[in-house]
Amino acid sequence: MPQDPAAALGALLRQSSIEDHDEVLKAANAAIKANRNDIDSQHTRIIALLKLDRFEDALRAIADVPITLHSRITLEHAYALYKTGQLDEATKVLQSYGVEKNRSLQHIAAQVAYRAERFDEARNIYSRLLDTDPVDEENDIAINLRSAFAQSSWLGYSLADKIAVQDSDGFELCYNAACAHIASGSLETAAELLQRASRLCDSSDDLTEEDKQAEMRPILAQQAYVFAKLGKLKEAIDLYTSLSSTKEEDKDLALIIGNNLVALEPKSDNPYLVERRFSSLTAKEKDAKLFQHQSNILWRNRLTVDLQILKGAGVKRRTDTLLAEANHPSTSANIGILSVLNAAASSQGTTGKKLLKNLQGLAQKRPHDVGLTLTIVQIQINNGHTGSALSILESFLQRLEKAATDDSENVRFSPGLVALTVTLLRAQGRESTAKAELVKAATHWRSRQANPATSLLEEAGIELMRSSNLQDLELAGASFQKLFDEQKGSDIAAAGLVASLAPSDPSRVEQHLQNLPSVDSLIEGIDVEALLNAGVATTTSKTSSGLKRAAPSAPAEKPHKRRRKIRLPKNYVEGTKPDPERWLPLRDRSSYRPKGKKGKKKAGESTQGGMVKEETLGLVGGGDVKVEKALPSKKKKKGRK
């Protein structure tokens, strides 16, 4: 008698360990064929398909099950949607069930949020998982949490200080921390962490040699990126070349390595060769799963290559479409770079005044385009016209103020625009106006989330602390207090609070004093006596050049004058006395003899360069007044009528 398929499947599932998922799938299919209403067999088939990485087949199997089974397969359904890139659908499935009910669902929800680039949501979920009995998951959750922090740093959030590395951390944690430091610009720290991650990975006993090579490739790729950012181009190119020569199973990493290698290699005289290489790279992008900021870089590089091969019209058409769909004003780096590429394509190779005229015409059509305005400002600065650049920037800021919307005000007081304005104002010597700009910016962000403007609040607080005005000090204290609250005890914010509040409210300072480093730790290793003996370096005053210099205490040696060599005429005979009248006009010399009768007569009338003694009227007290003597007119002879 043949064995019941359902019983056979049950016996197979009761084994201590199952390695052959194909066998499980066959048994599940046989059980379903015998009884299509067997819910357990249908559930088993879905799990077996997921184990075999047949995610599309798993979704089709899920679509065939009755509605009553959907509550049992929420985890499998969400995971299959996540693996096939259907992130919005996966989010809907998770929300319909509620992720708080199941720890496994929270893991899937965090992965979906991370892949959908909702990194704040991913960080919150991982933080909850880490705080609620992580058991054996602690290391994996910590790795994923730091990865979410690192990705947030690439979007402009300053979070590198929140992922400090411990001595006991593995290579994954060091790698994620290094990525966060790369995003925040701390390249030296990132280089050290990558070296440490490389050593830990190479010495790991839990990995096979094949696994070590797979884990080392992204570490080495990031090391090459750091080399490139530090200006070590040869080391970066060599490392990228060695990585590109090996077979890369990670399509995302292979695409990134290829792009960076094309960008770093010396440019060919023939831009069409570069275009051919880049086209072969972008053809692989459809099979990769890059994050949005990575895809944006590849797309911008594609447009840049098109500009080099004189496809400006196509670049202009594509960027015009995207800019028309974008919201202006915007501080998005992607939109800003699109504006720059659009300006380059619209300029049609012009330079000088004609280029500025073309760009100003575009600015009239897009008056709130941040990237276009900054392009014009940069051109003016490059031409040495700082005043014109500042005037253009101030006009743009005034237009943003007149718009009077929340988005326009946030852009108006964005850290980048404020920093540029303050720099140009200080270059013009307008220190008071620069300070007023920082005050307005600090006042704006005082009542808003400070995360996008952390650096701005720090700079504004430092500038306001230099003032003796109590209102300025209070505003500085408010700025540092906001930073201290949002950054959960920042050392810089604590020091700023102490410095700004000490003169007006000492009672509020005491709670922050313990957060500050001791004076001994700050001066440790400093040779005070050597500093005193070296003296204090002073800068020359700007007005010193206009002051009269004091007389030197000791008589200075007179500089040795170089005497010119006397040049003698060619016919000079040594010992003969030179003619004393050689400097006089020819007619005034005693040796002058005019030729002929008319010549003698003209000699008496003409000057030949000599002085004519005119009649003068004597005045009492000295000087003479010259009077022109009129010559007697000759009577005209009467001619015939």
Q: pLDDT by residue (tens digit) across 25-62?
A: 888 888 878 887 778 888 888 888 888 889 999 899 88
Q: Using 50, 70 and 90 to split pLDDT, how confident is the model at 505?
A: confident
Token reading at 142: 């910590």
* Alpha carbon distances (Å) from 191 to 172, 180, 336, 484: 15, 12, 30, 29
Token reading at 169: 């951390």
Using an 8 Å Cβ cutoff, are 373 and 389 in contact? no
Token reading at 524: 């440790």
State yes or no: pLDDT of 131 exceeds 70. yes
CA–CA separation, 234 and 232 (whole Å):
6
Using an 8 Å Cβ cutoff, are 403 and 360 in contact? no
Using an 8 Å Cβ cutoff, are 154 and 293 in contact? yes
Rounded to an integer, the average pLDDT of 437-445 is: 86
CA–CA separation, 99 and 93 (whole Å):
10
C-alpha torsion angle, residues 483, 488, 489, 490 (rounded to 10): -50
Rounded to an integer, the average pLDDT of 278-282 is: 84
CA–CA separation, 413 and 418 (whole Å):
6
CA–CA separation, 398 and 413 (whole Å):
12
Give the pLDDT score at 621.
41
Strand partners, 616: 626
State yes or no: pLDDT of 249 exceeds 80. no
Which amino acid, 330?
Answer: S
Cis peptide before 329 (omega within 30 of 0): yes
Strand partners, 618: 624
Give the pLDDT score at 294.
87
Indicate the SS3 state at residue 385.
Answer: coil
Token reading at 59: 């979704």
Q: Using 50, 70 and 90 to split pLDDT, how confident is the model at 172?
A: confident
Helix 209-229 vs helix 233-244: crossing angle, to nearest 10:
150
Rounded to an integer, the average pLDDT of 630-636 is: 49
Tell me how many degrees the CA angle 9-11-14 measures, rounded to the nearest 5: 110
CA–CA separation, 58 and 464 (whole Å):
62
Give the pLDDT score at 625.
42
CA–CA separation, 310 and 347 (whole Å):
12
Using an 8 Å Cβ cutoff, are 350 and 360 in contact? no
Q: DSSP alpha helices (H): ranges in 167-291?
A: 171-184, 187-202, 209-229, 233-244, 251-264, 271-282
State yes or no: pLDDT of 420 exceeds 90. yes
Judged by average pLDDT, the poorest of 23-27, 91-95, 176-180, 450-454 is 450-454
> What is the pTM for the complete model shown?
0.69
Rounded to an integer, the average pLDDT of 195-210 is: 89
Q: Pick the closest to residue 76 from 92, 98, 94, 95 (CA basis).
A: 94
Give the pLDDT score at 451.
64
Instruction: Kindly give the pairing relationship between strand 615-618 and strand 624-627.
Output: antiparallel
Give the pLDDT score at 557.
64
Token reading at 47: 């799990």
Q: Pick the closest to residue 411 from 374, 461, 365, 464 (CA basis).
A: 374
pLDDT tens figures, 463-486: 887 777 778 887 888 888 777 777
CA–CA separation, 213 and 628 (whole Å):
108
CA–CA separation, 389 and 396 (whole Å):
11
- What 8-state DSSP symbol labels residue 632? P
CA–CA separation, 397 and 440 (whole Å):
13
What length does the chain have?
A: 641
CB burial readout 164-179, b (16+ within 10 A) else e: ebeeebebbbbbbbbb
Which amino acid, 338?
Answer: L
Beta-carbon neighbour count of residue 432 at 10 Å?
9
Token reading at 272: 């069409």
Judged by average pLDDT, the poorest of 24-28, 503-507, 551-555 is 551-555
Using an 8 Å Cβ cutoff, are 197 and 241 in contact? no
Whether the CA torsion 148, 154, 159, 160 is positive or negative: it is positive
Tell me how many degrees the CA angle 220-224-226 measures, rounded to the nearest 5: 115
Using an 8 Å Cβ cutoff, are 294 and 256 in contact? yes
pLDDT tens figures, 102-120: 888 899 999 999 999 898 8
Q: Which residues contact 316 (CB under 8 A, 6 or more apart)?
A: 342, 345, 346
CA–CA separation, 144 and 138 (whole Å):
10
Q: Pick the closest to residue 311 from 344, 340, 281 (CA basis).
A: 344
